[in-house]
A and B are shown apart, each in its own frame.
Chain A
Amino acid sequence: MSARWLLLWIGIAALGLISRAEAEELVTALSAEMVSIQSNFTGTEIVIFGQISRDTNTISRRGKYELAIIVEGPTQDITTRRKGRFLGVWVNRDYERFLNVPSFYAISTTTSIGELANRDLLDEYQIGLNHLNLAVTGKSDVPLSERDDFRQAFLRLREEAGLYSERQEAIEFLTDTMFRTNVPLPANIPVGAYKIKSLLFQDGALLSQTEGSLSVAKTGFEQITFEMSRDYSLLYGLIAVILAIFTGWIAGVIFKKD
């Protein structure tokens, strides 16, 4: 075989490698683009559907497809405080402030998070609660050895509140390439713009990713009330007072004894 042939084969193989990186395409859709919070809101559930499309030239691979779907809420700064004894009474002493952390984080995966990819990749894409980037303020008084306690407590409290969750093996494959998952949204869910990130892995490599959006908003009376309490707070206070005096007065008149 001549050198020219060899070069050609290398070229084809290289092309194959390049096309391999973009061979899988991930498409997802949501059961609802918007979650509206009204007076009877007690939490809901969104369904995420998706399809992995593979171009026909791609050679079918050995490994199984693995997926991670992350629903992430708008960011917040959160202070985590720890109680200590002060003059015999338990009061908040040390604290750590976490900056720009998601207000809501729910991850669903096809397998355990550790098996999706290596640690660096999980950290880079913030896949799983242990891989979230929880940045703290520089002026923290907490000794380095105790920082992790605050981090763990923060994650635990958010999990207990239902705002952070990891649901492993919660993505169901309907066919070889179609999948779906249900993500419960609790009643205390923060409002704002949510991101829905879907990541496709195979043999520890990230093949493809896509991002969608979901809006969680108060609607109707809840929205008007909330916005008024923020934007026209004085008027809101006045209305509360008038309502109170009116209710009291009506009651006083209805139930008058003499």
Chain B
Amino acid sequence: MQLYLPIAEIPVNIFLILGMGGAVGFLSGLFGIGGGFLLTPLLIFSGIPPAVSVATVTTQVVASSASAVVTYIRRKAIDMKLASYLLAGGVTGSLLGVILFDLLQSLGQLDVVISLSYVTFLSTVGTLMLVESIKAIRRRHSGAAVSVKRPGQHNWIHGLPFKVRFRRSKLYVSAIPVLGLGASIGFLGTVLGIGGGFMMVPALIYLLRVPTGIVIGTSLFQIMFTMAAATIFHAASTQTVDIVLALTLMIGGVIGAQLGARMGQKLRGDQLRLLLGLLVLAVGLRFAVDLLLTPEDFYSIAITKGAGA
């Protein structure tokens, strides 16, 4: 069944989109990730214009985070003060992101920047995950005790000025890295169409030393609002948010996420991370191949003025 997308101005197969939303939702439930970094590439590879894919996925990330945030609010596993600092950074980053996005689009270099960024981030993150999970699996097999201690009490970050106390996280840390982290992830999320949870969670644990019990809820809460801001910025500036596409993805996504979450409880954490690492690397490689191989068609066209611009 075909569905006409009012902003992308193309018809798509509704089951294909529901399926993609569902599959990515399943993986996000399975691995506890937002899935934007998988969904945006999938949409691009299936022929949705990159600008529409990126902007629309920011909306979809709002929905997928919201459904999980409900649970964390109920469990009170969110540090609201930390989240609001991250959010302040995130909204600023997102605003800068949308300005860059608009500029790149008018220069005709948006697609290549999106591809290059995906290659860089996905291959780095994918390799790190892979290495970490293989180590964990080896440790488990050799029977060594897996210590879950929080690494070292202090690092360079704790020497920075403008310290703020975050009671819920039992932290007394400079506001600079918190705002900076929020801004970087808000910026990347807006340009690349990703929530950034897969970067935010490790950063909160290893850089800021936020207790693990609070990390995911806080990260999700912050991502939900940053991506909400990104949606509004994209809608106002690049005008590429397709509400019909977003809704279709959301419906597929929330159902898939529930199935994934149930499945995830049956698998080991290190095995899950190994699988996720492989998946992330595969998507990164796919972008790399597109950039490095001689293109089938050297030419492309873009409407710069008039109907459909």
Query: A: which residues have CB within 8 A of B?
Result: 37-42, 73-84, 88-92, 95, 97, 103, 150, 153-154, 156-158, 187-188, 190-192, 218, 221-222, 225-226, 229-230, 233-234, 236-241, 243-245, 247-249, 251-253, 255-258
Contact = CB atoms under 8 A, between A and B. Distances in A.
Given A77-B305, A103-B303, A248-B254, 18 more contacts: A40-B2, A76-B306, A76-B308, A92-B112, A103-B308, A190-B308, A218-B6, A222-B6, A225-B6, A241-B231, A243-B59, A244-B246, A247-B66, A247-B250, A247-B251, A251-B67, A252-B67, A253-B70
Given A79-B108, A81-B302, A240 B67 contact: no
Contacts of B255: 251
Contacts of A245: 62-63, 66, 224, 228
Nearest to B64: A248
A221 B68 CA distance: 30
Contacts of A218: 6
Interface residues of B, number: 66
B11 A42 contact: yes
Given A240-B246, A248-B63, A192 B307 contact: yes
Contact of A234 (B63, B236, B257): B236
B35 to A, nearest CB: 13
Interface in B217-238: 224, 228, 231-237
Contacts of A39: 3-4, 244
A120 B206 CA distance: 73
Contacts of B235: 229, 233-234, 236-237, 240
Interface of B: 2-4, 6-7, 9-11, 59-60, 62-71, 74, 108-109, 111-112, 116, 224, 228, 231-237, 239, 241, 243-244, 246-247, 250-251, 254-255, 257-258, 261, 291-295, 297-309
Contacts of B69: 248, 252
A248 B10 contact: no
Which of B10, B66, B224, B241 has the largest number of chain A CB atoms within 10 A? B66
Please report whether the interface of chain A is mostly helix, strand, loop or mixed according to DSSP: mixed
A77 B303 CA distance: 6
Contacts of A244: 59-60, 62-63, 66, 228, 231, 246, 250
B298 A190 contact: no
B304 A97 contact: yes
B232 A238 contact: yes
Given A77-B305, A241-B62, A89 B116 contact: yes
Given A80-B299, A154-B301, A241-B59, A249 B67 contact: yes
Given A157-B300, A236-B235, A244-B66, A187 B10 contact: yes
A188 B111 CA distance: 21
A252 B301 CA distance: 42
Given A81-B302, A158-B301, A236 B243 contact: yes
A256 B70 contact: yes
Given A237-B236, A252-B70, A226 B112 contact: no
Contacts of A89: 112, 116, 291-292
A41 B297 CA distance: 29
B6 A226 contact: yes
A222 B231 CA distance: 20
A1 to B, nearest CB: 64
Contact of A77 (B10, B257, B304): B304
Nearest to B9: A188
B21 to A, nearest CB: 11
A247 B300 contact: no
Contacts of A240: 59, 231-232, 235, 241, 243, 246
Given A95-B108, A103-B306, A150-B299, A237 B292 contact: no
29 contacts: A37-B4, A77-B303, A77-B304, A77-B306, A77-B309, A78-B304, A89-B112, A89-B292, A90-B293, A92-B109, A153-B298, A157-B300, A188-B11, A229-B6, A237-B231, A237-B241, A240-B231, A240-B235, A240-B243, A244-B60, A244-B63, A244-B250, A245-B66, A248-B64, A249-B70, A251-B254, A252-B69, A252-B70, A255-B258
A52 B243 CA distance: 48
A88 B250 CA distance: 38
